[in-house]
Amino acid sequence: MNSKKTLILAAIALVVLLAGAYRLYETLGARQEGAQLATAAPQETVADTAALGETAAETTAPAVAAPDFTVYDLDGNPVSLSDFFGKPIVLNFWASWCGPCKMELPDFQEVYDEMGSDVQFLIVNMTDGSRETVETASAYLADQGYTFPAYYDTQLSAAMAYGVSAIPCTYFIDARGCAVARSTGAIDAQTLLKGISLIQ
């Protein structure tokens, strides 16, 4: 009886998680700006973000709570997204086998070097245990000399929470823990800075 109850509770939790991820995707996917930067500007109109090249009519989008998740640092310590609330967050999903991911990482390092004390970077590796492992990902980062904070999604809980089906993918989350914008595909430093400007 207990296993049946546990299974039902797990199914309900999964449905809630998927519904939250779908709402986040739908809200942030509603507006496209600049180089693949979609916004859900909380408490303001999209027209207020004209610096990104917005030309559409004004629309108001509600703030969307960023789904929480747990990933692991290189030492295997659990880290949750909510641990970083209180500071703007750049959340990036990547893998060492992904060409576009590798193309954008130098820009992430450059912006991290410049703004890492003001903005929390969470560079989350899609660690599936076969195509990508903690060892292959951490070796790649070390070989390239990257120093931004890297985490490993060994349970794929972060990817599931955000409905990530293609990488690279980047989310911009404000200090309150609200997802404000996302980008799909590789982005350059200029687009990264535009996203950060929305959450500061």
**CB atoms < 10 A from the CB of 43, how many?**
10
Report which of 76, 74, 110, 61 is spatially closest to residue 90, judged by C-alpha positions.
110
User: Does residue 89 sit in helix, strand or coil?
Assistant: strand
Looking at 48-62, 104-118, 120-134, which range is the least confident one? 48-62
Residue 40: per-residue pLDDT: 53
CA–CA separation, 37 vs 183, rounded Å? 5
pLDDT tens-digit map of 24-41: 544 444 333 444 666 553
What is the DSSP track for 108-139? HHHHHHHHTTTSEEEEEE---SSSS-HHHHHH
CA–CA separation, 116 vs 84, rounded Å? 13
If one compares 117 and 1, the residue with the highest pLDDT of the two is: 117
Burial class from Cβ neighbours inside 10 Å (0-12, 13-18, 19+) for residue 8 reads exposed
pLDDT tens-digit map of 52-86: 333 222 333 566 899 999 999 999 999 999 999 99
pLDDT of 190 strictly over 70? yes
Mean pLDDT over 149-154 rounds to 97
Element containing residue 143 per DSSP (H, E):
helix 134-144
pLDDT of 47 strictly over 60? no
